[in-house]
Structures are given as structure tokens and as C-alpha cells.
Structure 1
Amino acid sequence: MASPTVHTTAVAPEFSGASGKIERAHTARTLPVFVLSALLATGQMYVPIPLFNAMRADWNAEASVMTWIISAFAFGYAGGFVLFGPLADRYGHRKVLTAGLLVAAVVTILTGLAVNPEMAVGLRVAQGLAVGSIPPAIMAYVATKITPKHRAVATVSVATSFLAATVIAQIVSQAVVASFPWRTVFLGSAVVFVILALTVRRVMREDTPTGRDLPLHHSYAAIPRVLRIWALLPMLVAGAMSMAVMVGVYTGLELTGVVEGSGELLALRAGALPVFVLLPLLAVPLARLSKHSQIALGVLVAAAAMVAATFEGSHLAVLTVLLAILVGGLGIIGPAVLQSAGELGGHARAAAMSVAMFSFYVGATVGPLVAAAAAPHGFSALAWTMTLLLLGSLGMTVLGLVVQRTTTRATEAAA
């Protein structure tokens, strides 16, 4: 790959209407809908966690089977990013997003009607694949149609919504299953998918797709190029490890039984909500740091919380605070990796961000499996395992910085 592609920070092409003037989206109308769509889409991964006991009782299934309900969705979700991300540019962001929301509604209904774990796992892969069409279309639209001065806040807000779904989806799911059958969660989600599909069609600008006169395979040609951006690859691994920690910790809480009672679990989950409100407000001061520094800061904050949790994990109030700190640290990492992918990807911004989100949910696929392996040894073992993953993430971040500086020096010397 040519070195200019590695270092360019060019934004994706801007499109204009018939008047020749660039048509910007109305941020105040568009962003809330995107935030809700991101919450609902990613939240589908986490809604089964509070439903584990009800689903197991309904199906007479083993506890170990339930972790695959999470991993199956993450697997399909990751694949959806790569499959549909390039198509968003080819056919139009509004068209792909609207279709994705409607298809997600159908598959989510079917998931809620599953009669056994085997059927549920297969449907969860299909659900993840359909829902995986949503985030790339949103992020590409933000990168091209949102007013430039609003993009940083918009990007962080949407990226934070992906992370906030970890907690918010569990809170909603836990509240619903306390009064209704567990299948209600999926059926209700399907209804909201339809409502959002109708809404995004109204608030988004007309599509300005590119490359439709080229063969279909051309839309995917950018993905191999992205995978040859050597400075980006370690950061993608760092993002994957951080997402594995995010999903692994909350899955482990359910499996270890360190907290008993729905009230205590709800308190643990709700304790992180203020952090998600704070993260977008930190976008401007954090922007003063390099992306590598932001990732390193997030990793160190999250790792410190996990180390402390190994000693104080049995105290509910302390654990609630530590989980909030953990989420805060991880919430810094995700947007930084996404923005790095967009910058390093250059004109392949949409593909690069799709690959970045793919890497996140590869990590999310692994997270529940790691939690299932560590949980039988207690919460302390789970916390130490997550700490090791975070240290690996820090190592990958440092490696990415070294590779980027080496490549920069080589390019300058060649010039």
C-alpha cells in the first residue's frame, strides 16, 4: 500500500445537491435518532444477560450454553460491519440504514420466538448480521453529512452510545423481565426498530451514493487495503481486547454470583450511567491528546479499576464505583480507535471504520467465553483475567505508536 494512504487525514468526499451547495444534515434532529439507533442496535447483544435464568428455565438448558447467546450475536454483528459497511457508500446511507432497521425488526421477532437454545443461537447470528448494517451507515453519514464543527461531538456521542448499550440494555431488560415473559424484550425491541426505521427516513438527507457504476466487488476492495495499514492493526487489536473486557465483566457478574438479588445487580449496572453522560463532555479536552495517548489513558484507568476490584469486589458500593471507572476508561478507548481508523483510512474512511467496529465485536465474541472460563474460579480470577487483557491492549497501543512513527520517518526519508 502506498504510504500516503497511511498518513492522510483527508475526510470522505462531501456531496452537494443540485444547487452545488453542500447539503449538511441538521445535527439537532439527526443525532438523537442516531444515538437511539446505536443504543438499540448494540443493546441487542446485552439484553439476554439478565434473561439468562428465565431462558434457562424455559429451555432447561445448562449455564454454559447461555454465553453462546451473547457470542453468537457478536459474531454476526462483526460480520455485518464488513458486509454492509461498503454497501452504505455504494447504495446510500439512508437506504441501507432504513433497510437494516426493518430487517433487524423481523429477525428480532423470530429470535424472541425461539423454542430451544440451538435455534436461538442460529437466530442470534442472523440477528447480529442484520443489526450489523446499522452502525457503519450511521458512522459514515456522520463523517460526510454532519457539519464539520459538530463531527467530533457527534462521533463521540454515537460511539459512547455503543458502549452505553452495555449497561442501558441490561437495565431495560432486567426491568421488563421482572414483570413480563423474557420474550417480551425481543418483541418490544422489534417494535422500536420499526419506529426508528420510519424516523431515520424522515430526518436523514437524500442519499448520494457513489460507485454504483462499478462492479460490486469494487465496494469491498478497500477492506484489504485497510488491513495493510500497519499502523492501524495494533490499535484494532487494542480495541478488540477492550471490548472483550467490557462484555466479559458484565457476563462474569452474572456467572460468578458475586452479587445476589436483582436490586444489587440493577445498582451495579445503573452506577455506570453517569459516566456515559460525562464521556461526550470530555470529547473536547481529550482531543488535545493524541489518539494513542487517549487509548493508553483509557487502558490505564480501566486496568486500575480491575486491579482494585480483585481486592474489593465483594463490597457492593465499592464495586459499583470501580465498574463505573472501568466503563469510563473503556469509553475513552472506543472513540479514539474509531477516529484513528477514520484518519488513517483516508479515502477508505467508511471501510476503515467498518473494520474497526468489526474488530470491537470480534473482541465481544471472545469476552463471554473468557468470562465463562474464569468465572468458576471466582470474581477475583475474573478481574485478574480482564486486567491481563487490558495490559495486552496497552502493549498493542505502544506497538501501534512505534509502527506509525517508524513509517512516518521512512516516508520522510524517501521524500
Structure 2
Amino acid sequence: MSHPTTSPRHAAAPSTPDPPQAWAPAAPTIALLTALGVLMVGQMYTVLALLHPMATALGTTPGQATWTATAFGFAYAVGFLLAGPLSDRYGSRAVITAGLVAATAATLAVSVAPNLPTAIALRSLQGLTAATFAPSALSYAVHHIAPQRRGTALTCITSGMLAAAVIMQIGAQAVAAGLGWRAVFWFSAALMALSLIPVRRVLRPTLRHGTAGGLLQAFAAMPRLLRRPRLVALYLSTVALMSSFVAVYTAVAIAGPPSIAGNSSAILALRAGALPALVAVPLLAPVLQRLASPLRVVLAFAPAALTVAAGSFLGGHTVPLAIALLLFVAAVAAAAPAVVETINAGAAHAHGAAVALYGCSMFIGASLGPQLTGALTGLGFGGILRVVAVALVLGVLLALPALRHQRIE
């Protein structure tokens, strides 16, 4: 996990490491960036638990309300491409701070949206501002955490971002049940504003080593990477992975497994049941990393497809369905870092640009997931999951060229 986050600036020239005495304190830095990862990335997923009350308040349907998730995700994908080079140019702490201020305002604005078109526009703005966090946080960890702690830091931060999909849905459902859906955005905005205090106290300013040319170099590397078929296939596999992940949780929210449809407590338990997987996979990272990353991609995608396919037949049985979703989330949590490492290994010296494109493809996939579910609601919960399983099989096929390339080498 220590490779994928090399910045675009360092892709062009060797980095000059900070002297040992300059390393940031690992524990508070990791705790802060992991918590903020849950909060900021989780804004993508909060609306999946709010589709019904939002639809009622905005005068639309839950299926149409999924556009609030899609709009956020597409804007986040674009923002990810911009934030990485900006972080290199102006420093991670500066970009995180500015992004938190902007995201606080955008999140408050979403809470007062009077209709669906306005909510979609404001969610786009929220996604663009929230996107400043992830690449800046990962860049900060690479530059300021001591090498012996860096792997742990990156694993915790990226796991927090993935766990946000579950944690923030649970939190949003609980808040909305007592205070209404708009309160979810009030609380999120308040937490963003309050986090500015520890950001200024814990994070250190980053010296500006980059130049305007550094920005141009980062963007120029992206078209070159997109001319490499194996990397393009891996980016497409990322789209398949994340669209499937979000589609499954959207299906839980709007299609409803037959055994728990309309039962908010059961749906909450189903979401929470995946949390152990998001704790276990980071703990197992040292063992998993003994396998080559392309092999881990294939070995993770395959059980993801199998568990979703099995889950499509378990809608009438809550406990087996919860176990299937637990295994599915574990497979996704194992696949995501393996895809990053494989992309990084094939990116030569353009690591920062490669990871920026990976982040973009992640959130393009996350944006397509709600629309996939919305378009397939007529198939029912089981039918949606069977289509998702096919998408994951496609992800396996897209990852195979990287595995074959490794064997040839």
C-alpha cells in the first residue's frame, strides 16, 4: 500500500525525503486522516440511506433521487484529477484546509435544497469540493509519515475511505430516523468545520517543491497512460468493482430484499453486518501481500462475483444474505488495494497520474452504481444482484491481461 500514492511531482523527479526528525507523529496523523476519510468520502454514500425521505420531500421517486448520488460521484471523479496536482503545487495541508471550508458550505447548501434539480446541482458542488481530501491525504502520508509506518498509514486511510460506504449509511439512517434527512447534512457540515481545528494542529505545512510545470507534467502523463491497454483494462475493472459495490447497497435501499423490505431496523443490521470485513481485511494485509497484486485482483474479484450471485437467491433468508454481503464486502476490500498496486506497477514513472486516473475510475463506477440499480428495479432484488454478478465476472476478465503479463515477465 505504500506505492500507489506517489505524487505526480515525484513521478517526474526523485523525491527528497525529509530528515528523520521531521517525520510527523504517526498515531494522531493516521487517526485524523482516517476519520476524515470516513467523513469526506462517506458523503458519496449518505444519500443511499436517505433516498425515500429525500424523494418524498423533493417531490420525486427514490429511483430519480439516485441522481443525487450519481451527480456527486461524477463531480468527485473530476475533482480527484484536479486535487492531486494542486496538492503537489500548494501543499497537502493547504488543499485539505481549503477543501474543508468549501465542502462545509456546499454540504450546508444541500440541506436546504427545495427540489430535485437543485439538490443534484448542489450535490455536484459538494462532490467537487469533497474530492480535495483523498489525494491530498494520501500525498501527505507519503511525504510526512516515516517509511516504517507508512504502509500502516496508507492501509488505515484507504480502509477508512472504503468503510465510509457502510459507516456513513448507518449514521445517515440513524440521524434521519430521529431528525429528518436534512439533519444528516447539518451534522456533516458541522463535523467538517470542527475538523479544521485538528487539521491545523496535527498536520504540518508542506514545502512547495512543485511548479506550474509540475501541474502540466501531471496532466500530460494521463493521456499517455490511457494508451496502455492493460492499464485501461484495470481502470475499467475498477469501474466494474465500484459500480457493483454501490449497486448492491442501492438495491438494499430501494429494491429491498423481500424478507426485510420496509423494515428499517433489518436494513440497518444488514448494512452494519459488513463492518467486520472492513476491519479484518486491513489486519490481514501482511498475509495478502505475500501474493502478487495481479493474482490478488483475480482472486478477490472471483469470490465477489460468487457471493453476489449467491445473495441473489437469498433474499428470503436474512442471515445467509447478511453473510453473503459480508463476504462480498471483504472481497471488495481486498480487491481495491490490489488493483491500485497493479496499476502502480505498470505506470513506470507516472505513478501520481496513474493513481489520479484510478481515483477517477473509482468514482465513475460509484456514480454508475445507483443508476444501474435504478434501471433494473423491475427485475427485483435478486435480478439486480445477478446483473451485478455478471459485471464482476467482466471485472475478472479485464484483470486477466495483467496476470498474464506478470507470468510472461
TM-score scaled by structure 1? 0.90
Partner of 2:7: none
- Structure 1 contact 94–206 (Cα < 8 Å) conserved: yes
1:133 — aligned with what?
A: 132
Match of 2:314 in 1: 312
Evaluate the alpha carbon distance shift between residue 12 and residue 167 of structure 1 in structure 2; reply closer, same or farther with a 3 A threshold: farther
1:159 to 2:161 alignment: no
In structure 1, the residue matched to 2:193 is 194
1:305 is matched by which residue type in structure 2?
T
Secondary structure of 2:346's aligned partner: helix
* Cα RMSD (Å): 2.1
Conserved 8 A contact 1:105-1:191: yes
Residue 5 of structure 1: aligned partner: none
CA distances 1:301-322 after superposition (whole Å, capped 9, x unpaired): 2112112112222211111111
Cα distance in 1 between the residues matched to 2:71 and 2:336: 21
For 1:99 and 1:338, how far apart are their aligned partners in 2?
27
How far apart are 1:281 and its partner, in Å?
Answer: 0.3
- Following TM superposition, by how much is the alpha carbon of 1:347 offset from its aligned partner in structure 2, in angstroms? 4.0
Aligned-pair distance for 1:405?
5.8
Matched, 1:180 2:179: yes
SS in 2 for 1:231: helix
Aligned position for 1:399: 401
Tell me the CA shift for residue 404 of structure 1. Answer: 5.5
Q: Which stretch of the first structure deviates more once superposed, 63-72 or 386-395? A: 63-72
- The answer for the alignment partner of 1:101 in structure 2 is 100
379, 402, 407: which one pairs with 2:381? 379
Query: Could you say what secondary structure the match of 1:113 adopts?
Result: coil
The 3-state SS of whatever aligns with 1:289 is coil
**CA shift at 1:82, angstroms?**
0.5
**Aligned-partner residue type, residue 157 of structure 2:** V
Post-superposition offset of 1:108: 0.6
Q: Decide which moves more: 156-165 or 280-289.
A: 156-165
- CA-to-partner distance for each residue in 1:2-39, whole Å, 9 max, x for gaps? xxxxxxx989844456xx65732222111111111111
Kept in 2, the 8 Å contact 1:247–1:367? The answer is yes
Verify the 8 A CA contact 1:107 1:123 in the aligned structure 2. yes
Aligned-partner SS, 1:115 = coil
Conserved 8 A contact 1:33-1:199: yes
Q: Residues 58 and 115 of structure 2 are in contact (CA less than 8 Å); yes or no, is this contact kept in structure 1?
A: yes
Structure-2 separation of matches of 1:356 and 1:302: 20
Matched residue, 1:119: 118
Q: Helix, strand or coil: the match of 1:168?
A: helix
Question: Sequence identity of aligned pairs in percent?
Answer: 34
Evaluate the alpha carbon distance shift between residue 256 and residue 215 of structure 1 in structure 2; reply closer, same or farther with a 3 A threshold: closer
Tell me which residue corresponds to 1:294. 296
Which residue of structure 2 aligns with residue 413 of structure 1? Answer: none
Q: CA contact under 8 A between 1:16 and 1:22: conserved in structure 2? A: no
Q: Which whole-Å CA distance do the structure 2 matches of 1:167 and 1:30 have between them? A: 23
Q: Is the 8 A contact 1:152 1:283 kept in 2?
A: no
Shift of 1:226: 3.3
- For residues 354 and 200 of structure 2, what CA distance do their matches in structure 1 show? 25
Q: Is the 8 A contact 1:43 1:165 kept in 2?
A: yes
In structure 2, the partner of 1:142 is: 141
Closer/same/farther in 2, CA of residues 324 and 287 from structure 1, 3 Å limit: same
Q: Distance in 2 between matches of 1:212 and 1:10?
A: 14
Residue number in structure 2 paired with 1:351: 353
For residue 308 of structure 1, what is the amino acid of its counterpart? A
Q: Which residue of 1 aligns with 2:3?
A: none
Taking structure 1 as reference, are residues 310 and 16 closer, same or farther at Cα in structure 2, changes over 3 Å only?
closer
Q: What is the rounded CA distance, in whole Å, between the counterparts of 1:15 and 1:106 in structure 2?
A: 36
Show CA shifts across 1:323-344 (max 9, x none): 1110000001111122333343
> What is the aligned residue count?
397
Task: Give the whole-Å Cα distance in 1 for the aligned partners of 2:55 and 2:37.
Answer: 28
Distance 2:80 2:374 in 1: 26
Which residue pairs with 1:281 in the alignment?
283
CA offsets per residue over residues 357-393 of structure 1, 9 Å max, x none? 1111111111111111222211111111110111011
Encode CA deviations 1:169-207: one digit per residue, 9 max, x unaligned.
110001001110211100110111122233122212221
Q: 1:281, 1:16 → 2: CA distance?
A: 28
Aligned partner of 1:83 in structure 2 is 82
The one-letter amino acid of 1:207's match is T
Distance in structure 1 (CA, Å) of the matches to 2:169 and 2:273 = 12
Using the size of structure 2 for normalisation, the TM-score is: 0.92
Asked whether the equivalents of residues 231 and 401 of structure 1 are also in contact (C-alpha less than 8 Å), the reply is no
Q: CA deviation at 1:225?
A: 3.4
Counterpart contact for 1:77–1:128, Cα < 8 Å: yes
> 1:15, 1:22 within 8 Å by CA — same for their partners in 2?
no
